Amino acid sequence: MTPLDSVGDNRALVSEPHTDDGPSPSLVGTLVAQRYQVEALLGSGGMGAVYRARHVHMQKVVALKVLHRETSERPEVVSRFEREAIAAGRIDHPNVAAATDFGRLGDGSFYLVLEYVAGQSLGSLLEEEGALPLPRALAIAEQIAAALAAAHRAEIVHRDLKPDNVMLLDPATRSTRPEADIVKVLDFGLAKLERKDADATQLTMIGAIYGTPQYMSPEQAGGGEVDARADLYALGLILYEMLAGKPPFAAEQLMPLLIKQMTEEPPPLPADVPRPVRKVVMKLLEKKPEDRFQSAEELLVALRELGKAAATPDSGRARLPSVTSLPMVPQVVDKLDELSSSARQASRPAVDFLLRELRKPIEIGGRVAPRWLPLSALVVVLGVVVTIVAVRGGEPSTGSLQGASGTASGATGDDEDDPPPRRKPVQLDPALRQVLEAAKNGSDTALYALQQRTDAERSVDEWLALSQALLMRKQVQAGLDAFAGAIAGDELAREEKALLGALRHLADDEAHADAILQFVAKHLGPIAGDFLFDVWSKTSAKTHATTRAFELLGTRGVQKQMSDALRIALDLRAAEKCEQYAKLLPRVEQVGDERTLTPLRELRKERGCGESGRDDCYPCLRKDKALDAAYTQAALRKAPQFPLLRRWRWKG
């Protein structure tokens, strides 16, 4: 997603005037809302444009965001735009770019007026300089945390914090402390305005996805509940990048990036980053929200303490050479990394644990030293690894290595949920399994990642997850196509309860009834008749769905695979004479279920015929107990049900 495609990235506010008029006519030189004189186009994209403008009465420079007229007709885009206006308007803090006005132009386009921020984005600075000096990185992080604290006090969660949404004011525009960085946090277009804001998780995808996966918390990537701690995770990623010169997780494709964000631990920070700083960053990057700092205020306290320590020169503190400058050390690491695949598999817990530990620095008497010292210990370590490989003979390890710093567990088996009844279990990579679960839980990011894969790559489980993610957004035809893909791979996939429940719910909607009922008749085999009967019989009203369901019940393909229980239920409804009913009762007693109870109740009535309406309509059924026996047995057998699962989530 390019910055201006979302009209949500304010790097455009600091760029030179842009000459491309974009999809809509330029507003340069015009007066907007009778008070904003538009001076220059700063940037334009598929969703809108950003201008530099001046308030004609206050003579104050502002940034003017304008959605293109055609974009203003898309409710989800306008919702995001309004969200940014309300959120930025509610936060009063010097580190937040404030919104001052919002409205609609005569042609229907929406506009938003923001504080004009002249300077450089943190993203641009990191591209130019790489890792920042520790005091500068901590000072920037502290101001971002202060901005988040103000937002969170107003019950606003940013949800798209990243370096490109953090601006550093141009020193030339400031009269005080030109040497210090002044931070402004921008773009609250994805902000969750309050805890009860149900729409906050229901913004649909435009072009690609909302949010930035490289700076997205695991719970946001997984479609879970997002609170203020997700912003703290994003700040942890930003602080990591400022200290290391690169983000902890990177990949060219979305799927690998998503998997890393949700499952992998971040690589260690450089050895020259002090241990207290590393501890704060790694706490921010915990995968579980409850293991992170629990508030921005709590983080602020920690950052201020680190900032004070970093700003205090310590001329007496000597530093030993870095790890890579020591002789032989890189070669030893290479040897560990280059162990044969069978050796690494056999000793994976030991090798991974040792590599992780050996790359960490330690502090001895106020000095930072690599764990490689003394070098003689490395020979012992390498000997231990080789011994482990030799003893285990290349067999995969399932044990664990106990050490002073904790436990490094070996490879574990797939922890997939129990498969649907009678469907053959399929072993999936645990990381892919998490992406599939995230998609089924409503994650836009996970859905987008799945959609990038080719049909040939998809397993049955992936087809099912894709179908569920699409159906919960009521993208019915695409969801049906994915369900068909799953069934083509394994016929038993048609028993997936979550999808059947969703289809049954949507089948009552005339907008979707035809597509769903046709799909059911064609693809669901023995289940089709039960599904169609449920649609037809659940209401006495004659609707398009009930009419179509009854028509399909009579088709040869459906009847050919119909269960005996359903067949007798339909035969009872088709019978007209007492003798016909009497012949059917033994079959009802044998195989009938509760779907036969409605006609059986009518047969048990002893009045309703004759001129007075008091005569028995079915006297031939009173000769024995066959009717009572059939009714009793049928009542004991439940009919197939297609309920919407309680955990099902609708999106949008």
**Residues belonging to the active site:** 160
User: Distance between CA atoms of 181 and 575, rounded to whole angstroms?
Assistant: 86
Tell me phi and psi for residue 367, to 5 degrees.
-110, 145
User: Distance between CA atoms of 310 and 274, rounded to whole angstroms?
Assistant: 9
Sort residue 59 into left (φ over 0), alpha (ψ -120 to 50) or beta: left
User: Distance between CA atoms of 109 and 73, rounded to whole angstroms?
Assistant: 8
Single-letter amino acid, residue 76: E
Distances (CA, A) of 324 to 330, 380, 470: 6, 20, 50
User: Distance between CA atoms of 412 and 389, rounded to whole angstroms?
Assistant: 19
Sort residue 223 into left (φ over 0), alpha (ψ -120 to 50) or beta: left
Distances (CA, A) of 353 to 414, 469, 527: 21, 37, 51
At 578, list the tokens.
């007492």
User: Distance between CA atoms of 142 and 231, rounded to whole angstroms?
Assistant: 14
At 206, list the tokens.
């435009």
Which residues are 192's β-sheet partners?
A: 157
Q: Which of 431, 432, 506 is nearest to 466 (CA)?
A: 432
Strands 110-115 and 60-67: antiparallel
Distances (CA, A) of 173 to 182, 186, 251, 294: 11, 18, 38, 36
Q: Which of 573, 590, 602 is nearest to 637 (CA)?
A: 590
Helices (H), 396-525: 430-440, 444-451, 460-471, 476-489, 497-507, 510-523
Consecutive H or E run containing 38: strand 36-44
Asked whether the beta carbons of 568 and 637 are under 8 A apart, the reply is no
Asked whether the beta carbons of 553 and 536 are under 8 A apart, the reply is yes
Asked whether the beta carbons of 103 and 81 are under 8 A apart, the reply is no
Residue tagged 């104050």 (tokens): 60
Single-letter amino acid, residue 200: A
Helices (H), 254-364: 254-263, 275-284, 296-311, 329-337, 341-346, 348-358
What sign has the CA pseudo-torsion 367, 368, 371, 376? negative
User: Distance between CA atoms of 10 and 117, rounded to whole angstroms?
Assistant: 9
